[in-house]
Amino acid sequence: MAVIEIIGGQWGDEGKGKIVELMARKADLVVRFSGGSNAGHTVINQYGTFGLHLVPSGIFYSGVKCLLGNGVVVDPAILIQEMESLNSRGISTSNLFISERAHLVMPYHLLLDGLEEEARGAGAIGTTRRGIGPAFVDKTARQGIRVADLLDKKVFFRRLSQVMQLKNVILTKVYGAQPLSVDEVYKQYLSYARTLAPHITDTQRLVDEALERKDFILLEGAQGTLLDPDFGTYPYVTSSSPMAGGGCQGSGIGPKRIDRIIGIFKAYNTRVGSGAMPTELDDETGELIREIAHEFGTTTGRPRRCGWFDAVAGAFSVRINSFTGLAITRLDVLDALPQIKICTGYHLDGKLVRGFPTQLTTLEKCQPVYEEMPGWLTPTSDIRRYRDLPLAARRYLRKMEELLSCPVDIVSVGARREETIIIKPIP
Ligand code: GDP
Ligand code: IMO
Ligand code: MG
């Protein structure tokens, strides 16, 4: 039927979980393809409120297969905990499948994530400390341990001993930390393997079969484009590609098979962790947005930095992902603001900057150029048709379409599934 990618267009937390869960009602397969438990995807539905870190947001529908693709790094302890928590709330996880090619987050990754952050001092990235960076470093350095390795005790022990010899040298000699016991990690991970074994498979084969049947496949992005290691605000980024291209790589689908790529954007901007954010508001408006929208991290609980919508970064994100449409979330958060600003350009040394700067030192110096638009001062959460939105809200959305050169397919006016205006139908 269709393959649709749901991609974060900003710095994460755009509302991907809500949109994926909404669209998954008609899906056959929902695939997470990047990141790991650094993600925190909020879903609010008839079963309650959920903050998912690894399990795809399609899990609430019994007919939907949910895959953790090869591009994800899996912390088995967190995954098992999440599955148990879902099961205890009446949600089955029998349709959850984990790629045997996915890499494992190991205890030394968690330790190293913390130790590296401490060592960075004032330059700390502000990671989620979920071991994500160190796990992807190992994948690239060819010293990772894959989910498949867990299924063969001998292979696992040999690989673990070899890798941990080096890790313990780094832990003790570089950081002066305690070494980890190979035996303990081995036993702990074998017990995880027993729990997860029925879910481990070649997920790419499941994807192939679904493509063959012309099933409806949703690729659930994690993080956001501006956290991409290549195109994001390096080095304040994550360690796997949250972009549309990452969706192909992390699930085993060729780019020609993708039908729609929907960029999810909040109606304003937020960021957790360090790094430049040109439209950040260090004033009462920023504080007001944080209060109204309850902008605190789903994974770490940290306050999110808030600011006006940045159409320079947004247009960059549209271009590098080839978004076919936008989903604008949290429009309702702006209901209470009499004036709304939108960043249409950056000024540097009195000149307008072309595109989105590569260097952080440049981005830090950029002054946002704003266009001010009147707010609508009307509640929007009960509106279900685009034409019923206040004129000022429609003008704001049209301005986004114009500045990003991309049509708005979905407008989200509340955290709950039904609080959504669908402009371009979901297949
Ligand atoms: P994700 O990581 O992209 O899935 O986003 P998060 O779940 O981390 O953060 C998005 C937050 O916004 C969550 O608390 C959602 O419940 C909430 N949310 C999503 N869409 C809307 C919306 O349209 N309006 C409001 N008020 N909240 C929303
Ligand atoms: P979802 O999927 C927002 C940020 C961290 C930090 C940087 C690197 O919920 O949108 P990492 O732990 O990945 O090494 O941290 O990336 N970050 C996110 N910010 N939403 C996320 O995921 C994030 N995942 C990582 O705050 O700045
Ligand atoms: Mg999130």
pLDDT of residue 427: 84
User: Can you say whether residue 329 is alpha, beta or left, with left for phi > 0 and alpha for psi between -120 and 50 degrees?
Assistant: beta
Tokens coding 355: 């595109």
Ligand 2 close to Cβ of residue 135 (< 6 A)? no
Q: Are 111 and 278 in contact (CB under 8 A)?
A: no
Residues with CB under 6 A from ligand 1: 8, 12-18, 40-42, 44, 293, 298, 329-330, 332-333, 412-415
Average predicted confidence (pLDDT) for the chain: 97
Average pLDDT over residues 357-370: 96
- Index of the ligand 1 atom closest to the CA of residue 57: 4
Strand segments, DSSP code E, in 186-229 are 200-201, 216-220
Statement: residue 1 has pLDDT above 90: no
User: Any idea how long the chain is?
Assistant: 427
With a 6 Å cutoff on the Cβ, whether 40 touches ligand 2 is: yes
Average pLDDT over residues 212-238: 98
Q: How far is the CA of 272 from the centre of ligand 1 (A)?
A: 14
What sign for the dihedral angle of Cα 300, 306, 312, 318? positive
Q: pLDDT for 25-52, tens place per residue?
A: 999 999 999 999 999 999 999 999 999 9
Instruction: Give the ligand 2 atom nearest the CA of 300.
Output: 26
Tens-place pLDDT, residues 239-281: 999 999 999 999 999 999 999 999 999 999 999 989 999 999 9
Q: In b/e form, how buried is each residue of 371-403, taking b as 16+ CB within 10 angstroms?
A: eebebbeeebeebeeeeebbebbbebbebbeeb
Beta-sheet pairing, 269-271 with 305-307 = antiparallel
CB within 8 Å of 415: residues ≥ 6 apart: 15, 18, 42, 44
| Phi then psi dihedrals of residue 348, to 5 deg | -135, 125
Mutation to probe ligand 2, out of 238, 239, 265, 299 (largest number of atoms < 8 A from CB)? 238
pLDDT of residue 299: 77
Percent of the chain having pLDDT more than 90? 96
Q: Does the pLDDT value for residue 117 go beyond 90?
A: yes
Mean pLDDT of 72-78: 98
Q: Check whether 79 has a pLDDT greater than 80.
A: yes
Atom of ligand 2 nearest to the CA of 130: 12
pLDDT band for 302, please (50, 70, 90 cuts).
confident
Q: How far apart are the first and last CA of the chain?
A: 7
Domains of the chain (ranges; CATH) run 2-99+198-260 (3.40.440.10), 103-196 (1.10.300.10), 265-422 (3.90.170.10)
pTM: 0.97
Interval 208-228 mean pLDDT: 98
Residue nearest to atom 1 of ligand 1 (CA): 13
**Separation of alpha carbons 125 and 239, rounded Å:** 12
Instruction: Report the catalytic residues.
Output: 13, 41
Give the residue among 337, 350, 360 at the shortest CA–CA distance from 278: 360
Helices marked H in 141-257 — which ranges? 153-169, 182-196, 203-212, 244-249
Distance 42 CA to ligand 1 centre (A): 6
Find tokens 């508001």 and name the residue.
281
Does residue 298 have a pLDDT over 80? Answer: no
Mutational test site, ligand 1, from 13, 18, 226, max ligand atoms within 8 Å of CB: 18
Asked if residue 23 has pLDDT above 90, the reply is yes
CA of 258 to the centre of ligand 3 (A): 24
Whether the CB of 17 sits within 6 Å of ligand 2? no
